[in-house]
Structure 1
Amino acid sequence: MGSILVLGANSTIAQATVRKLTDKGKHFILTSRDPSQLEDLKNDINIRSQVDVQVREFDALDFAGHKAFFDDVVGSVDVLDGVLLMYGAMDDQKLAEHDFAVARNMIDVNYTSAVSMLNIAANYFEQRGAGFICAVSSVAGDRGRKSNYIYGSTKAGLSVYLQGLRNRLHRAGVHVITIKPGMVDTKMTYGLVEPGPLLADPVTVGRDIANGITARREVVYTPWFWLIIMGIIKLIPEKIFKRTDL
């Protein structure tokens, strides 16, 4: 039975996604900086779905330890079928403008660590000739907006990286999926995003991610209406766009 490695499984979106994917009979390796936070999820999956679940500690910023971590995961399962990269950091834009440590944290968490881990995973799946990589980017990466351009730039970099990785791995039979959520009601966005009709439920986003993996989609906007919203925003001429408050 194949297994799926979930990087950042303590996020509400990750947990909603995993619960949807348990119906497929996959086993899971759930990771977090604090594995104790995952015990409830592990027990719930074990009881409801009768699938094996491992819980492991993972530090996204421990770049030097990524290869040993991944090799240890591969050695602990029969087959690794996929990797879900679900973690991220979104800090206050104004703080990031004046404190590079804040900006660098978003860069390192959202982009540098993703490239480090996914390069390792890509080499494994390419050699195996099968598998999938799914990573959560953001609609914020579709266009630089003054309200969150530092965070958005990290997600833009991730989206382009995933696009190139998808092209590289296609002939090897490895599928790469880019997830682009809009605003989601999570711990990461608490206090940074105003409640409103565009604020999505993590369960909805998790369902869309799980369905996208099953259907082998390439890019998933979630909820679906963000594809239209961002399509319109990308069409606004720069001369006009720079005068907006977006």
Structure 2
Amino acid sequence: MTRSPVLILGARSDIGQAVARAFAALGHPVQLAARNSDTLADDKSDIELRHAVPVTLHEFDALAPDTHDAFVAGLPELPQTAVCAVGLMGAQRENETDMDAAARVMRSNYEGPARILAVLANRFEARGSGTLVGISSVAGERGRATNYVYGSAKAGFTAFLSGLRNRLAGRGVHVVTVLPGFVATRMTEGMDLPDRLTAQPDEVAGAITRAVERRKNVIHVRPIWAVIMAIIRNIPEPIFKKMKL
């Protein structure tokens, strides 16, 4: 059976790579999209050899919104599923004082991902089918002093995905919001992360493929994060202000 193509936005990231390989393992052709996409040639060859599926490379810059329409129009085939793994954490202390750095984090986690998914949403809606997957973060569920710049952008992206899902309900297009919690990637390298709360990229990828298949709406990769964030969201503000989370 011929499988439908899957587009991976942010295909150089650890999660993007894992998601690409997970869908390829299921027999899906894969479209890898990233900046300097030619540097993914080895990944392309490896996926093709391991999984015997076609893989194509596509130049994509989430922070160049004027290129997004042409990017989608230039794909060899409109994918059935698109997964956005674009993101940038940055350093909170730098973001507090360097407004350009803060803006880049905000644009990388909200404006760019939302803009490209909006373009794809319109094309999917016109076709009457498709699945959009946005990787957001539990950091967007309540602003905390340790990462509120990153968290605020993820909060915006989570709200965008929710609204998009509501808009496209009944039109053949499904939207999945992924809230991974901690993930052991290059982005979190050097951070002291608790094992019980930290997923591996392959674990995130598996959760995404299952969510697409089962048409889930919002998923926490490790369910314990749903409990943790429910507690954090309900801490009274006078108490929350005194906490260092």
Same fold (TM over 0.5): yes
Paired position in structure 2 for 1:58: 60
Q: Deviations over 1:41-69 (max 9, x none)?
A: 21122112211110111111111111011
Letter in 2 for 1:40: D
Letter in 2 for 1:18: A
Paired position in structure 2 for 1:142: 141
Runs of 4+ in 1 over 6 A off after TM superposition: none
**Mapped pair 1:44 → 2:42:** no
Letter in 2 for 1:53: V
Check whether the contact 2:18–2:205 (CA below 8 A) recurs between aligned residues.
Answer: yes
Letter in 2 for 1:207: G
SS in 2 for 1:147: coil
Paired position in structure 2 for 1:6: 8
Instruction: Report the TM-score, using the length of structure 2 for normalisation.
Output: 0.94
Check whether the contact 2:80–2:129 (CA below 8 A) recurs between aligned residues.
Answer: yes
TM superposition shift of 1:111? 0.8
Check whether the contact 1:184–1:200 (CA below 8 A) recurs between aligned residues.
Answer: yes
Distance 1:220 1:38 in 2: 29
Paired position in structure 1 for 2:207: 208
Paired position in structure 1 for 2:184: 185
SS in 1 for 2:5: strand
SS in 2 for 1:176: strand
Check whether the contact 1:8–1:31 (CA below 8 A) recurs between aligned residues.
Answer: yes
SS in 1 for 2:188: coil
What is the 5 A alignment of 1:148-227? Answer: 148-191=147-190, 193-197=191-195, 198-227=197-226
* Counterpart selection for 1:15 from 14, 17, 22: 17
Paired position in structure 2 for 1:96: 95
Paired position in structure 2 for 1:245: 244
Check whether the contact 1:204–1:223 (CA below 8 A) recurs between aligned residues.
Answer: no
Seen in structure 2, the aligned counterparts of structure 1 residues 39 and 125 have a Cα distance that, compared at 3 Å, is same
TM superposition shift of 1:150? 0.8
Paired position in structure 2 for 1:35: 37
Distance 1:17 1:68 in 2: 24
Letter in 1 for 2:194: G
Check whether the contact 1:175–1:216 (CA below 8 A) recurs between aligned residues.
Answer: yes
> Identity across aligned pairs (percent)?
40
SS in 1 for 2:57: strand
SS in 1 for 2:170: helix
Q: Deviations over 1:183-234 (max 9, x none)?
A: 111112224x323322322121121122111111101111221111111111
Structure 2 portions without partners, runs of 5+: none
Letter in 1 for 2:26: K
Distance 1:238 1:39 in 2: 50
Distance 1:13 1:114 in 2: 15
- Count of paired positions: 242
Check whether the contact 2:86–2:113 (CA below 8 A) recurs between aligned residues.
Answer: no
SS in 1 for 2:219: strand
Check whether the contact 2:12–2:40 (CA below 8 A) recurs between aligned residues.
Answer: yes
Distance 2:136 2:44 in 1: 25
Check whether the contact 1:10–1:37 (CA below 8 A) recurs between aligned residues.
Answer: no
SS in 1 for 2:133: strand
Q: Deviations over 1:95-148 (max 9, x none)?
A: 101110111001111111122111110100111110010010000001111110
Instruction: Report the TM-score, using the length of structure 1 for normalisation.
Output: 0.94
TM superposition shift of 1:153? 0.3
